[in-house]
Amino acid sequence: MLRVGLTGGIGSGKSTVAAALAEHGAVVVDADRVAREVVEPGTRGLAAIAAEFGPGVLVDGALDRPALAAIVFTDDAARQRLNAIVHPLVRERTAELVAAAPPDSVVVQDVPLLVENGMGPLYHLVIVVDTPVEERVRRLVDHRGLVESDARARIAAQADDDARRAAADIWLSNAGTAEQTRAAVDALWTDRLAPYEANIRLRRPFSRGAPRIVDYDLTWPVQAERLLARLRLAVGGAALRVDHIGSTSVPGLAAKDILDFQITVPTLDDSLADALSNAGFPRAHGFDSDIGHPPGSPETPKHVHVGVDPGRWANVHVRAQDSPFARLSLLFPAWLRADEGARGEYEQVKRAVAGEHATIPAYGDAKEPWFNQAIQRAEAWATATGWTAG
């Protein structure tokens, strides 16, 4: 099952995108609809609200929403009491709906305040529907009957574009025609969502071709933060630490467009395999050890899990805390971040080697002579500066 979070500002057109995804077969769970369902007449949610706020919030046995709004939107404590009633019921009902979906489903949860509530790590992917503010204002005025000042106030009260971009794996524009939006959703489903679901369900890593060095991407850090949050949620307290490592963690350094992560555990075993597979990172067998350093040292066991999102290549290296490479994988990028000369030297090596080798293993092996001497320099830097993995 692929879990997708769908969000966007008020008036952005999330419902249009959700409907298009449903036509492709997605199971859509609408948070607003669920929130209404759990306080319908006869529900324990409505009974709890009446008990908390009195019979004045009911009319003909149903919730009088304007009366309740008049209470909670001017009183933070009252709003918190309402949330304490409704939010657990919404979570419970949402979990029921998701659990009822077939195992090969793409489950899309339409959550208006996904960004504001920091819910991104709960999903394999987050889609943010974007529409320019002026168009959103027009829609709210023309289609919902809001006055312009009210429309702008509601937009301003939500997360801004910077916060949404940080949360978005997919930034989907809904500024054009309905046909253009539908075409974008069709392509998203075919190229990313459907194959990602199949890859998770079948737990199948796949080959992505030859190594290619690209210039440093300013979005790598924010992409890495999204995946870090998902990995940390997946492994919980079983890991000692989870870090973004490798060349993409070094600002300014050209690299393969692959995000590398390290999960450090007390003891290397298979206890994280299911959690990582369910999070979209199945085990890739055949990459079960690190080359010994210095040359001639024994290899050190590790596990490698590979992200199966067709839109983002990522590798996860699981290492025991006593593995020399667990420390080295933190030291090496720290040294490169601090030493501009070493950074430039490494980039030249990477570009030269990538042009000569057609596979990732061959590319890695070809870097070993430079890497062996660079480790000694990194260790000398750590001694001189007092660096620790801290």
Cα 326 to Cα 282, 302, 323, 365: the distances in Å are: 20, 10, 5, 19
The answer to whether 14 is a known ligand-binding residue is yes
- CA dist 7 and 26 (Å) reads 15
The answer to whether 16 is a known ligand-binding residue is yes
127 three-class SS: strand
Task: Reply yes or no: is the peptide bond before residue 294 cis, omega within 30 of 0.
Answer: yes
The amino acid occupying position 374 is A
The answer to whether 11 is a known ligand-binding residue is yes
Check if the beta carbon of residue 379 is closer than 8 Å to that of residue 331.
yes
Check if the beta carbon of residue 117 is closer than 8 Å to that of residue 273.
no
| Furthest-apart CA atoms within the chain: distance in Å | 82
Check if the beta carbon of residue 120 is closer than 8 Å to that of residue 114.
yes
384 three-class SS: helix
Check if the beta carbon of residue 369 is closer than 8 Å to that of residue 326.
no
- CA dist 286 and 302 (Å) reads 10
377 three-class SS: helix
Q: Which among 270, 271, 325, 264 has a CA at the least distance from the CA of 300? A: 325
The answer to whether 13 is a known ligand-binding residue is yes
Check if the beta carbon of residue 243 is closer than 8 Å to that of residue 390.
no
- CA dist 71 and 75 (Å) reads 7
Query: Could you tell me which residues are annotated as the binding site for ATP?
Result: 11-16
Query: Could you tell me which residues are annotated as the binding site?
Result: 11-16
